Copies of this chain bind each other. A is one copy, B any other.
């Protein structure tokens, strides 16, 4: 195979290309960030270059041995995740297990745009952090979900960004318009079915293909999942008051995708609710409010940055039913990260992000 395709043309328009590093390159979040960057217009015209790729235990191996789908970078050797390797970049993506970001972040210059796909800087409440993560709170950074009310402003020119969790992304966007409009009571119930990449790439017996194929199972039941306080934080901020959140994650036999079924008590009509959602997301490039009669499916958003949302009312039960689908690796992690990078750097927000899924 020759090297002409996807080479990310050498002749940059800019004298000083943006230099991007990625820590955690052998994981799923890291691989998806690289997939998106390889298709980013700035990479393709040479104004963005992919610098250091690092890993923990996988340092010294090639990227291709972990991500054979990323052919243009297959021969890149992963460096160690340390400050020497990550220094000298304009943007540093962190795809690390939680608890590792703060130490790196404080050693990098203030001007470096750090985009953390881990949980470390998502929660504003130290007690919540300590309760759910059993460690000291590192603080909080601007939250990388521009579609939330006021969310975009915090990201423009930001140099520290906490990318939301995958469940909070889909759940918050499914409920935000209703909560913001005050048309639901502040008690929400979320059951979200996820593909297995959300559980990461560390080998565990219960994530083996033999175990997950042909089976669904719940986990983190009863409010135990760490994304619960993050969803509560998002919705409460929008409501301006405490929102009660019941959240149950379910693991399904597919690699990618989350489908969240969200309910909340309402007395509004379906027309009122649809009007609220359509208005809230009218200008959002990645949020697609489905027409009446259509329902989301995760397969339609695989590889894309799209959030599909359907809303209706269960009149017998007196509930708003909002169902939303995302690709947990794209909009739920890496897509959100690249979207945030675009905003931070002043690039067009949608660059490198697609509204076209890979289906079936």
Contacts and interface: CB of A to CB of B under 8 A. Distances in A.
Interface of A: 1-2, 4-6, 28, 31, 35, 38-39, 67-72, 187, 189, 191, 193, 195-197, 199, 201-205, 207-219, 221-223, 228, 244-246, 248, 250, 252-257, 259, 261, 263, 281-289, 294-304, 306, 308, 310, 312-319, 321, 323, 325, 350, 353-360
Contact of A5 (B197, B285, B360): B285
A261 B218 contact: yes
A27 to B, nearest CB: 10
B205 A301 contact: no
A255 to B, nearest CB: 5
A211 B357 CA distance: 13
Contacts of A212: 209, 213
Nearest to A2: B283
A131 to B, nearest CB: 11
Nearest to A211: B360
A301 B358 CA distance: 12
Given A210-B196, A222-B313, A261 B283 contact: no
Given A193-B193, A355-B72, A209 B255 contact: yes
Contact of A218 (B70, B215, B259, B359): B259
A325 B222 CA distance: 17
Given A72-B356, A209-B211, A358-B358, 5 more contacts: A69-B301, A69-B356, A193-B193, A214-B298, A244-B317
Contacts of A215: 254, 257, 297-300, 302, 359-360
Contacts of A316: 223, 228, 244-245
Contacts of A281: 1
Contacts of A299: 69, 211, 214-215, 217
A308 B70 CA distance: 12
A1 B288 contact: yes
A232 B68 CA distance: 31
A65 to B, nearest CB: 8
A76 to B, nearest CB: 14
A95 to B, nearest CB: 15
28 contacts: A1-B288, A6-B356, A28-B360, A35-B358, A68-B300, A68-B308, A69-B300, A71-B304, A71-B355, A189-B189, A189-B263, A196-B210, A207-B208, A213-B254, A213-B360, A215-B300, A218-B261, A218-B295, A222-B312, A245-B316, A246-B317, A246-B319, A246-B321, A248-B323, A250-B259, A252-B252, A252-B254, A303-B303
A318 B257 contact: no
